[in-house]
Homo-oligomer: A and B are copies of this chain.
Amino acid sequence: MNPRLDPRKAPRQDRSRRTVERILAAAARIFDEDGYAATTTNEIAAMAGVSIGSLYQYFPNKDAILVALGRRHVETVAAGLTDLLGGVEPDADLRAVVDVVVRFLVDQHAHDDLHRLVAHEAPRTPELVAELDRARVLLVGFASELLAGRLPAGADTELVASMMVAVVDAGVHDVIIRRPAGPARDAAIALTVATAGSLLTVTPPDCRARVGAARRSGE
């Protein structure tokens, strides 16, 4: 219950539930069009057809509106992943699972521009960073569950899961931001899947052999 980010109070009647919806819809739109920093809470209230006072009745500050949008997004994605991963058979090919997951995420973000907003334009106060990290932990949990007992002996499941989430996140992000639909996008998706898949068999080769370039003083 973070008073800096959590809703001030829950809407109880239908009327106020609609108010909150209108505020969130307006915010999503204006944030996306003008960027977070450039949109004012007054604009949001105006576009929502709501007074500024009503807005602050439910959200303690501007960040809280962003967080509410972000949480919805995370919930949607988490639900989708639960659905996808729930039916994985014990002997399924994990690379194929990763492939499905990556495509799911890309699809998801095609329908919901919140990703760009949250990952790209959000201001990062300490509170928002913590909020983002909560989502990350959730995803690492999913991955750990998926990987449990399927990695080479001696591998650190949490570490590999963490890296896998990072790779998938970076790959999906790259795809969404920089690879327009088409062959380029397909190649980027394939590479993301291949890279994440390679984590299933890594055994760090402990390659400490010094490279010729390591000519830093005294080396």
Question: Is A79 an interface residue, CB under 8 A from the partner?
Answer: no
A166, B38: Cα distance in complex, Å = 28
**How many residues on chain A are close to B (CB under 8 Å)?**
66
User: Could you say which of A5-13, A20-28, A42-50, A188-196 contacts chain B?
Assistant: A188-196
> How many identical subunits does the complex contain?
2
Whether A212 and B92, one on each chain, are in contact in the complex, defined by CB atoms closer than 8 angstroms, is yes
Partner of A192, one of B163, B170, B193: B163
Q: Which of A187, A199, A211 has the most CB of B within 10 A?
A: A211
With a cutoff of 8 Å between Cβ atoms, the chain B residues found around residue A207 in the complex are: 93, 95-96, 99, 193, 197
* A92 and B35 contact, Cβ closer than 8 Å, known pairs A163-B195, A206-B190: no
Contact between chains at A211 and B37 (CB < 8 Å) = no
Indicate if A112 sits at the interface (CB-CB under 8 A): no
Q: Is B202 a contact partner of A195 (Cβ separation < 8 A)?
A: yes
Contact across chains for A205 and B213 when beta carbons are under 8 A apart: no
- Given A96-B209, A121-B126, A163-B174: A198 and B202 within 8 A (CB)? yes
Contact B213 A85 (CB under 8 A): yes
Cβ of A97 under 8 Å from chain B: yes
Would you list which residues of chain A between 161 and 190 have a CB under 8 Å from chain B? 162-163, 166-167, 169-171, 173-174, 178, 184, 187-188, 190
When the two chains form their complex, are residues B124 and A129 in contact, meaning their CB atoms are under 8 A apart?
no
Closest to A34 in B: B126
